[in-house]
Amino acid sequence: MAQFPLAPVSSTTAAVLLSNFVLFVWATVDDSSTVILHPPHDGSNRHTMFLPLFPSPSSSSFSGDGKSRRRLHTSDAPSPNARMALHDDLLFDGYFTTSLWIGSPPQKFALIVDTGSTVTYVPCSTCQRCGNHQDPKFNPYLSSTYQPVKCNAGCSSCANDTLQQCLYERKYAELSTSSGVLGEDVISFGNLGQVSPQRSIFGCENMETGDLFTQHADGIMGLGRGDPSIVDQLVDKGVIRDSFSLCYGGMDTGGGAMVLGGISPPSGMVYAYSDPARSPYYNIKLRGLHVAGKRLDLNPSVFDGRLGTILDSGTTYAFLPEAAFLAFKDAIMKELHNVKQINGPDPGYNDICFSGAKSDDGSQLLRTFPTVDMVFGKGQKLSLTPENYLFPHSMVEGAYCLGIFQNGKDATTLLGGILFRNTLVMYDREHNTIGFWKTNCSDLWGRLDASTGDMSPASSASNNNSPRSSSDVGSGRFISLQLIALGIILFLLSNHYVFCV
């Protein structure tokens, strides 16, 4: 403890003054620029991503000891989270992306947020069979903190070279594939939240095929259950609570927001139980559908076939088992008046489309199309507006098509991103629940903080989503404020004020 001469102000008062000034310095930092990703417009409107054909093992595969490393936060005290912006448009691009920065110095990537995948991967600079994407490929030789993941008992396969690096491979239902090596580096999540850059395992692609090769986005951010999911890695380290949230923008706005970590649930959130033993994906107990307030005559077991009812953010549309789809389609048709059924925009698909809707955009569709209620296990209802099950016809102005389809002969119910536009979806893995809250996702932070009373520094943070490394204190303005703070401290010391350290 350092001692200073007695002073007219107590150490407690001086500490309060200093702490208030530090809070003032924090509050006045404003990195106002926002990085927005603008995808190319190729004229196509049918881009659909699907969950993997082959789920990853749910056990820990990359710790090397074969033991589970899951840690749960038992305290209800607020915990750090990473608040991240979502970009792109679900229906035009088929996905939403967020920005991650990998390496030292950081290399930026636009990654599709995918709850159906566990591996986060980007194209490697050595990849000769990767497409041309939004950003340059990751160059591990330019990062001072990159380390290859050596072959261990948890690896599914290993490279036969001098590095003996752990390999990964992912295959998707639409026949695209990704494969490469696993590496570890510092990953930054932007400046909207309180999570600092963390060392994490990710995939460095050496080959990609299908949609993964042609897409504009750089790669995938895996949010699924099991290692090496980014969420699992952050939870294992005790950095965040075992939870994350997604909020997709509406039909006319796009974009949205994502939170890695826990949030205070807003009032009015509707919950559904999610059984992690039911399937390796995020599933819920769906018991029925209502159209215009009328219950569809369906046995609840129709939604529990094969893998059950799955939420997958990497899938664009929704897919129902045959009986459920036919009942849903018929119920919608009965509620429509003064509209004409027309052909879809793509002759390769049997889309169900309508012209003559009394709206030039998605905001007035309720004048023509009914509401749809999803009924969960204990009777909880989530009401969906037309923007949650329609997409605009790309060839006929003012026409709309059903974004819910029959899932072939597959008994699985697959709920893609279209159903949850302007809906905050909270994946509370710690309590095995998924919460739903209808809101304007383009203004999530303000609405969420108003609903929960959350006045944390992150709620008033700037919109800049660029990374701040652990050694970077921020802009020159922030450094200047630090110098001002130092000057005030020296002034207090020179006037014989007391500080206890």
Which residues are designated catalytic? Answer: 114, 312
- Rounded to whole angstroms, the Cα distance separating 125 from 369 reads 49
Q: Give the chain's end-to-end CA distance (angstroms, integer).
A: 5
Helices 11-28, 476-494: inter-axial angle, 10-degree rounding: 170
400 near 392, Cβ under 8 Å? yes
- Rounded to whole angstroms, the Cα distance separating 328 from 399 reads 20
- Rounded to whole angstroms, the Cα distance separating 281 from 55 reads 8
Which residue in this structure is represented by tokens 């340059």? 136
What does each C-alpha distance from 139 to 109, 177, 219, 405 come to in angstroms?
12, 21, 15, 41
- Rounded to whole angstroms, the Cα distance separating 388 from 272 reads 18
Q: Give the distance, in angstroms, between the CA of residue 468 and the centroid of all CA atoms in the same chain.
A: 20
- Rounded to whole angstroms, the Cα distance separating 61 from 27 reads 42
* Preceding omega of 228 cis (within 30 degrees of 0): yes
CA-wise closest residue to 195 among 431, 468, 482: 468
415 near 246, Cβ under 8 Å? no
Using a CB cutoff of 8 Å and minimum separation of 24, what contacts does 472-476 make? 474/29, 474/31, 475/29, 475/31
418 near 403, Cβ under 8 Å? yes
- Rounded to whole angstroms, the Cα distance separating 248 from 262 reads 18
CA-wise closest residue to 136 among 222, 209, 223, 219: 219
- Rounded to whole angstroms, the Cα distance separating 173 from 311 reads 15
> Mapping DSSP to helix (H, G, I), strand (E, B) and coil, where does residue 345 land?
coil
Torsion of CA 89, 90, 95, 96, to 10 degrees: 50
Please give the backbone phi and psi of residue 215, each rounded to the nearest 5 degrees, phi first. Answer: -65, 155
**60 DSSP β-pair partners:** none
441 near 249, Cβ under 8 Å? yes
**357 DSSP β-pair partners:** none
Two structure tokens written together for 39: 């995808």
